[in-house]
Structure 1
Amino acid sequence: MKYLLAASSLALASTALAQRTFTVYNACPFTMWPAMFTSVGTLPSYTTGWEAGEYTAVTFQVPSTWNGRIWGRRDCDFTTDPGPNSCLDGGCNGGLVCDPTTGTGVPPATLAEFNLDAGGTDYYDVSLVDGYNLPVSVTNNVGCGIPSCPVDLGPDCPAPLQGPYDSTGFPVGCKSACDADLDGDPTNSPNCCTGQYDTPATCPSSGVEYYSYFKDNCPNAYAYAYDDATSLFTCEASLNAEFTITFCPPG
């Protein structure tokens, strides 16, 4: 019995330790609506979507092997259309609380992506592959690298990619060349790295329209699918890093 009790206690302790602390901070001078999607594995116990007033933060736990993404939504109204079109950008199936299986977010949306403890390594990044809608950074408490896109890419976004716009005409998004469908066939596209262009060799960054606009402004973020060399950050999983996702970070 003592052994069973001890084993049970160890199991509970192990479960308690098998968590990571995430903080999502809205440093923007306006309300936005963070969202979270789990790609693989156990869902965090925290909600998949919430309202974040300006300069407010929430802290919650995710599984130590969590694989998913966090992004922000802008200009939302969930009262009349509680679905993916509830927000000007980043909206999801489900409305305020994103559907856990289909609520991945409508582009354009800046993503903070995580794959924790994958073979002993945390992989994480900021991605503009789905376009841009808010500046984002991912910091940690153990000295590992900091992916970020701290620049507002909306106002100077190239005309074919710019939008959507808020009620004042201000651009609150900048689409990717893939999402803007500039080459007319997203299933076989150098902008999307699909079809015959679905490998690093056949989809170089030089073939992605407006790549340099995103990469020059945000060199530490993915500007297209195969930006791993400059944009995929790693941290030893044994460090149990705590991550902070900041929208509208300084600088």
Structure 2
Amino acid sequence: MMERNTGGGNRIGSTKTSFEIVHELHENGPARLSEIAAELDITESTAHRHLNTLCDLRYVSRVGERYQIGLRFVRLGRAAQMRDPAYGMAKQYVQTLSEETQERSQFVVEDHGLGIYIHMATGSKAVRAGFGVGRQIHLHSSSAGKSILAHYPRERVDDIFDRWELPSLTENTITDREELYAELEEVRERGVAFNREEHVDGINGAAVPVKRDGAVLGALAVAGPSNRLTGERLEDELPDRLLAAANELELNITYSSPDSSNDHVVE
């Protein structure tokens, strides 16, 4: 994903290069020194220095002539995934939704203007579309993303669109800002967002926001083949399930807060 450079002169080039190497290994798997250098358009000597440092820090490991992501990232990934206790509470609702609908369900949050899959579960009929926990997505093209954006101030939405723009992922992706603003207004009014083959061809979805203290925390979503998620099932059945799950999750988040009274328990 490409974004506009918002860091001005405050970025450190060597740090950026190291993370580009990490992302390259993550996206394309183990690779030789020459392959990494060619892909990132840097010299092999530069790539070698960065890789040696990353190996010393155990963020990259080497097997034969190939470099790969180090297992030290496992702990960091887990810490990021659970940095907010409410994220952990969403996991059981994602699992329940996948079992009830037999489709793919997920909990998505916004980070740096992108959507991040925090939890995901696949039901017995779910289509595995290549998405996994930690995957980053554009917000404007997914039901979860639109559900989140609909509850952000216009200025914040504009900043996200300026940074990441509005790439067309399918022929149904909304890429006109005014059309998106109108869509987000409808989402805010009805409380549910829809994705009709806007993110992936052949996949529809529905999502609702999860709030804490009135502010959106993330979104619960269900997605599946457009031939199954359509009509009444997409527009009525899924929203009802999602809204019920989000309401219960919000109550549990509220009454599990350290600031809440111990007299309230949500069963």
TM range (shorter): under 0.3
Q: Which has the higher contact order (CA 8 A, sep 6+)?
A: 1
TM-score normalised by structure 1 residue count: 0.26
Structure with more strand by fraction: 1
* Higher radius of gyration, 1 or 2: 2
TM-score normalised by structure 2 residue count: 0.25
